[in-house]
């Protein structure tokens, strides 16, 4: 096969027309006979003991079909991603405002909500622990399934970071903080559960980012065999990680209700319920220091951080590992020590969100690098360029990147060029003092491990069947959540099989059709799914080759596949004819493809070794204007560059880059859930401010850099999360450049109040 016929081309999104013409089926669109409606009764307090739960009055209310509590779970009462420590229904206590005490199921949503107010819970209120530093040393144990409030911890180490720095070195120390971020998807969580065929098992359909985790949780809690549990993802109205854990626990509750009342149960959250009950991005506090020689050569980076896990461990161990293992960035630093602890609190629950700890870690590092550059009298761009990694250099944990070209410097250079960074940085520093409106530029460089990383086996699977007419059916358990995964998977399958992408149909993502392939997260879709597709295609070609060699009396080595054609020595037939011949020979060209990443060798005892198998390299730069009288920050220009190996669909890749940049803008400048006593004060978009169309800069440069390597499918690396990762650091650095002598913003978001505070302190 020569060249590419499907990948590297701008293909239209497969689901685009259905979404814009209203034919796409979302979770709340599902209609069934005898449908019932569920309402989760939320905890009244963020921390309290429960003496009794009385549902008798609610069960007698108008329209009520049943009420479900922990007593209706024949199996495990707890669930969890890494640690089994999360209540499905509250049992003897509530430890976060998002806990659910009971699920009321009625003939209408209104009746379910009205009956929910009749569930009587005898509480003994306790004082919630909401400060992460105080929680770490508190005598109050928040989660009863742990001995203390340290959820998890990890570190990396390289060189001799503990040694005192010499007189010829410059050191900067600072503390940083970033808060919760809401996923802000348009569609709140919505799903339907109903009994399976002939009353056996249960089926879940709805807004699901993960298919297989809910199967495991339902199996454990309801004692149902896995082969009697089906989970199908309908059209997902946005996720960014938020529809992993929250819909999973909702699925268990709804499944219990459907089996109890023997009718379909629709479970949909309002916006306010979603923002109170769903998982958020982890807040972090950082204490960091960085040292360099006077010429700017980095010598040491040290950092300690604490992440707010909320009441449950959930994904916290993985989140802090990302923040730590990638914390030194794509820089050559001979001495590194980075540690982090995830700490239980009674705050809003935290979990998966696009970036998964990396944006927070990048923010602290990239901000302190700007402070170091200022102390050295260097530009932030040249400080980074002097220390950026190249092929053969070692990461902060000592992993040698000798298996691929590192596009970090190219990304840095492109962003600096697009922003005219050097000229503007020095000009704005001269011009800003004394002005009300001040401009600044900021830059942030990062890298990201593709897939799960060390200690977590990562396996992708898919099923491809070639039909007798030469068309192909692809089934894969990774879900389309708005990132264009279905389109990319079809392009990869078409390329690998050697047929037109119009001949490939991808099925609805369902556990009834696709083999287990893990969660659609960790920037693993293209990387893991694509490699599994290549494996299935190789097996299909081998099967067809055997058949054709037998029929035409030639060697299998004489057979090659090209776009819609098969060459057999000097003879050429169509792919359709080859498929028909394969079936006629008694063979079936249908196979499950599998791919497993080699497990990186990382020593948790020493904090040294390989952390990820593959990396994406990224840089974001921003230019802003800050009004010190109003506190408003206006974004003027963003440039975002990413070495993604090879762009499978360049247009979609650029759209991802822009979307990630806008999401980072909101995280950096406006978005604050405002947690008060463990609950979200801002529980709708009239208070929680995300960027609107007028906030997005007209000048946005999405930049693709390609350094293909043999590890990814056709050399591709992941993109979904890297497009966001360095953004927080870039925007905060730009704000600080604009503020100049008013002082450093070391908390995110840098919203109106924060800007006004710094301006007032300078008066």
Q: Give residue 307's Cα distance to chain centre.
A: 17
> Cα separation of 668 and 240, whole Å?
17
The token duo for 51 is 């003496």
Strand order of the β-sheet with 48-54 is 93-94, 48-54, 120-125
> Cα separation of 691 and 581, whole Å?
56
Bridge-based pairing of strands 150-158 and 64-68 is unpaired
Q: Residue 287 in 3-state DSSP?
A: strand
Among all residues, which ones are annotated catalytic? 721
Distances (CA, A) of 512 to 142, 211, 386: 39, 10, 53
Tokens 């509530």, residue?
94
Bridge-based pairing of strands 747-748 and 169-178 is parallel
CB 121 within 8 A of CB 107: no
Query: Which residues in 119-147 are b (16+ Cβ under 10 Å) and which e?
Result: bebebeebebbbebeebbebeeebbeeee
308 DSSP β-pair partners: 343
* C-beta neighbour count of 558 within 10 angstroms: 15
> Cα separation of 282 and 419, whole Å?
31
280 DSSP β-pair partners: 350
412 DSSP β-pair partners: none
Q: Residue 110 in 3-state DSSP?
A: helix
121 DSSP β-pair partners: 53
> Cα separation of 469 and 582, whole Å?
11
| Helices of type H across 234-297 | 242-261, 271-277
Tokens 């893991």, residue?
528
DSSP state at residue 247: H
> Cα separation of 568 and 556, whole Å?
9
> Cα separation of 730 and 743, whole Å?
17
Q: Residue 213 in 3-state DSSP?
A: helix
């Amino acid at each position: 096969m020569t060249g590419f016929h499907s990948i590297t081309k701008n293909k239209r999104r497969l689901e685009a027309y259905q979404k814009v013409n209203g034919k796409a089926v979302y979770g709340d669109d599902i209609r069934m006979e005898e449908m019932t409606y569920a309402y989760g009764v939320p905890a009244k307090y963020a921390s309290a003991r429960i003496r009794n739960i009385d549902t008798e009055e609610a069960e007698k209310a108008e329209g009520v079909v049943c009420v479900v509590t922990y007593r209706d779970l024949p199996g495990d009462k707890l669930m969890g991603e890494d640690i089994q420590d999360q209540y499905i229904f509250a049992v003897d206590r509530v430890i976060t405002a998002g806990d659910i005490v009971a699920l009321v199921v009625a003939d209408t949503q209104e009746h379910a909500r009205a009956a929910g107010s009749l569930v009587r819970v005898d509480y003994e209120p306790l004082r919630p622990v909401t400060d992460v530093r105080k929680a770490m040393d508190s005598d109050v144990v928040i989660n009863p399934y742990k001995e203390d409030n340290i959820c998890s911890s990890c570190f990396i180490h390289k060189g001799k970071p503990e040694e005192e720095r010499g007189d010829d070195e410059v050191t900067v120390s600072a503390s940083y903080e970033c808060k919760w971020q809401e996923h802000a998807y348009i569609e709140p969580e919505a799903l339907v559960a109903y009994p399976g065929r002939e009353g056996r098992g249960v089926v879940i359909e709805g807004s699901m980012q993960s298919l297989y985790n809910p199967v495991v949780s339902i199996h454990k809690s309801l004692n149902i065999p896995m082969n009697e549990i089906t989970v199908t993802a309908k059209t997902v109205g946005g996720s960014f990680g938020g529809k992993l854990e929250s819909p999973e626990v909702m699925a268990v509750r709804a499944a219990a209700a459907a089996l109890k009342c023997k009718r379909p149960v629709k479970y949909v959250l309002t916006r306010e319920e979603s923002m109170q009950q769903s998982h958020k991005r982890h807040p972090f506090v950082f204490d960091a220091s960085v040292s360099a020689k006077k010429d700017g050569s980095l010598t040491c980076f040290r950092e300690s951080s604490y992440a707010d896990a909320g009441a449950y461990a959930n994904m916290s161990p993985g989140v802090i590992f990302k923040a730590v293992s990638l914390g030194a960035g794509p820089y050559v630093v001979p001495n590194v020590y980075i540690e982090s602890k995830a700490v239980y609190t009674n705050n809003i629950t935290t979990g998966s969100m696009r970036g998964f700890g990396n944006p927070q870690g990048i923010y602290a590092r990239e901000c302190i690098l700007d402070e170091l550059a200022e102390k050295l009298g260097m530009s932030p761009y040249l400080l980074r360029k002097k220390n950026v990694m190249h092929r053969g250099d070692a990461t902060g944990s000592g992993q040698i990147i000798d298996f691929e070209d590192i596009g970090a410097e190219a990304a840095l250079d492109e962003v600096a060029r697009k922003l005219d960074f050097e000229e503007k940085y020095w000009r704005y520093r001269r011009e800003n003092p004394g002005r009300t409106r001040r401009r600044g530029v900021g830059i942030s460089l990062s890298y990201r491990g593709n897939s799960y990383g060390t200690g977590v086996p990562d396996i992708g699977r898919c099923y491809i069947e070639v039909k007798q007419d030469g068309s192909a059916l692809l089934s894969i358990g990774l879900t389309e959540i708005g990132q264009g995964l279905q389109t990319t998977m079809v392009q990869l399958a078409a390329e690998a099989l050697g047929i037109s992408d119009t001949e490939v149909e991808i099925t609805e993502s369902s556990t009834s059709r696709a083999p287990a392939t893990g969660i659609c997260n960790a920037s693993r879709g293209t990387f893991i799914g694509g490699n599994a597709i290549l494996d299935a295609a190789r097996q299909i070609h081998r099967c067809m080759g055997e058949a054709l060699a037998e029929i035409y009396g030639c060697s299998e080595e004489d057979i090659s596949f090209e776009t819609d054609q098969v060459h057999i020595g000097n003879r050429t037939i169509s792919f359709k004819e080859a498929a028909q011949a394969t079936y006629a020979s008694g063979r079936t060209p249908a196979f499950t493809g599998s791919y497993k990443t080699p497990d990186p060798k990382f020593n948790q005892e020493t904090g040294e070794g390989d952390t990820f198998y593959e990396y994406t390299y990224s840089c974001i730069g921003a230019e802003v204007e800050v009004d010190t009288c109003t506190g408003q920050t206006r974004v003027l220009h963003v440039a975002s560059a990413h070495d993604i190996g090879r762009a499978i669909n360049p247009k979609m890749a650029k759209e991802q880059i822009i979307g990630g940049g806008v999401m980072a803008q909101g995280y950096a400048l406006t978005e604050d859930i405002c947690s008060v006593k463990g609950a979200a004060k801002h529980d709708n978009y009239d208070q929680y401010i995300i960027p609107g169309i007028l906030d997005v800069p007209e000048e946005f440069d999405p930049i693709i850099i390609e350094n293909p390597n043999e590890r990814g499918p056709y050399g591709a690396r992941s993109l979904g999360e890297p497009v966001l990762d360095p953004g927080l650091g870039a925007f905060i650095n730009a704000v600080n450049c604009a503020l100049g002598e008013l002082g450093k913003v070391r908390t995110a978001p840098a919203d109106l109040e924060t800007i006004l505070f710094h301006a007032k302190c300078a008066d």
